[in-house]
């Protein structure tokens, strides 16, 4: 048998070994996802200074299968193995689902193309739409599914990583204290088909997306008409930060400034940039920081509309 070396990801698995469950799980998952290219991420939280937390790869299905032995080695060394489509695609990932939620999906014609059990009793579902979606509509579809079935809305966007079946979930909270073993990520279903209600569901997502976009645009136009000064004449956020009324509460300051800035004709892009002028790292990773800025802007616009 050929020995694995430093180029283990290019090591070709002998045909005689292809009956193992890890290879079969990966093979079935990439077939069910059915995209041309994948982004595979190997993540380890507790890395040293010389080791990157995330090792990214871009592979087609064949290269992904060839690299299973290397992925197994990396998983054994503490890395979690994730996968997602490369570029725009026709899939939506719904994370953190229960068995009941999966049953509800199927009961309403939203049958997943792929179901993965990421930890005991916790599931991820990939749904295949009837068409490739743009980034914004794809994110809207993922969020609509998460809200409808109780999934993780924070993980609902157009390019979120899901777990690759056949490897262990290396999160410390899942380790078996008696054995020291981690649970395997299990492939539950891998039919790969488009769900029955695809056209109806995507049509409703597109309609709601356009409705919300039109409403935001109308509100911005109304605010612009009422603006007594140009954005260049705006007070800076530093004045709000120094205002004792806000008690140094960053969230209250950001919201107050956003209401003021929108009322004086500033754009969402300008307001977002100002909010980001303070350190938001305590909010979490970049995605969570983006969510915070988006929520603050939406609250400010809603408050202005109520005031009018």
The model carries a pTM of 0.71
Structure confidence at residue 50 as a pLDDT band (50, 70, 90): confident
Q: Percentage of the chain with pLDDT > 90?
A: 66
Instruction: Report the chain's C-alpha Rg in angstroms.
Output: 23
CA-to-CA distance for 293 and 147, rounded, in angstroms? 20
Q: Is 56 helix (H, G, I), strand (E, B) or coil?
A: strand
Contacts of 84 (CB under 8 A, 6+ apart): 38, 39, 41, 93, 159, 160, 161, 162
Residue 20: per-residue pLDDT: 61
Distance (Å, whole) CA 288 – CA 126? 22
What pLDDT is attached to residue 213? 86
Q: What is the separation, in whole angstroms, between the first and last Cα of the chain?
A: 75
Better-scored residue on pLDDT, 59 or 272: 59
Q: Please report which helix (H) or strand (E) contains residue 255, including its range.
A: helix 250-263
pLDDT value at position 19?
Answer: 47
Higher per-residue confidence, 186 vs 233:
186
| Alpha carbon distance 229, 144 (integer Å) | 38
For 253-258, the CB contacts below 8 A with 24+ separation are 254/278, 254/296, 255/296, 255/299, 255/300, 255/303, 258/296, 258/297, 258/299, 258/300
Is the confidence at residue 188, as pLDDT, over 50? yes
Please spell the DSSP secondary structure of 77-137, one letter per residue: TT-EEEEEESSSEEEEEEEEE-HHHHHHHHHTT---SEEEEEETTEEEEEEEEEEEE-HHH
What architecture is domain 8-200? 2-Layer Sandwich (3.30)
Binning pLDDT at 50, 70 and 90, where does residue 235 land?
A: confident
By DSSP bridging, strand 114-119 and strand 80-85 are unpaired
CATH code reported for the domain at 227-307: 1.10.1240.50
pLDDT band with cut points at 50, 70 and 90 for residue 18: very low
Contact 71, 167 (CB under 8 A): yes
Q: Which range, of 138-142, 152-156, 231-235, 291-295, averages the lowest pLDDT?
A: 231-235
DSSP-based helix, strand, coil % in the chain, nearest 5: 50, 20, 35
Instruction: Name the burial class of residue 46, with classes exposed (0-12), middle (13-18) and buried (19+) by CB atoms within 10 angstroms of its CB.
Output: exposed
In tens, the pLDDT along 159-185 reads 999 999 999 999 999 999 999 999 999
The domain limits of the chain are 8-200, 227-307
């Amino acid at each position: 048998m050929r020995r694995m070396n430093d180029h283990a990801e290019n090591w070709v698995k002998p045909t005689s070994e292809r009956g193992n469950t890890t290879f079969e799980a990966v093979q079935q998952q990439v077939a069910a996802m059915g995209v041309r290219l994948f982004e595979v991420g190997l993540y380890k939280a507790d890395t040293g200074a010389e080791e990157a937390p995330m090792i990214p790869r871009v592979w087609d299905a064949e290269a992904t299968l060839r690299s299973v032995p290397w992925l197994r080695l990396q998983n054994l060394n503490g890395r979690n193995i994730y996968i997602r489509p490369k570029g725009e695609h026709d899939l939506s990932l719904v994370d953190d689902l229960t068995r009941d939620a999966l049953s509800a999906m199927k009961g309403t014609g939203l049958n997943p193309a792929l179901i993965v059990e990421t930890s005991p009793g916790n599931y991820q579902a990939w749904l295949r739409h009837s068409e490739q979606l743009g980034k914004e509509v794809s994110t809207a579809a993922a969020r609509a599914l998460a809200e409808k079935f109780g999934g993780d809305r924070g993980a609902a966007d157009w390019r979120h990583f899901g777990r690759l079946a056949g490897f262990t979930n290396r999160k410390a909270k899942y380790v078996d204290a008696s054995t020291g073993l981690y649970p395997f990520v299990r492939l539950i279903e891998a039919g790969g088909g488009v769900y029955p209600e695809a056209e109806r569901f995507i049509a409703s997502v597109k309609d709601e997306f356009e409705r919300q976009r039109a409403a935001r645009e109308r509100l911005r136009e109304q605010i612009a008409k009422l603006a007594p000064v140009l954005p260049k004449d705006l007070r800076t956020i530093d004045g709000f930060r120094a205002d004792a009324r806000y008690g140094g509460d960053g969230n209250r300051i950001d919201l107050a400034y956003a209401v003021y800035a929108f009322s004086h004709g500033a754009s969402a892009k300008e307001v977002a940039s100002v909010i980001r002028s303070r350190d938001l790292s305590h909010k979490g990773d970049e995605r969570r920081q983006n969510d915070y800025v988006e929520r603050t802007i939406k609250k400010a616009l809603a408050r202005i509309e109520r005031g009018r």
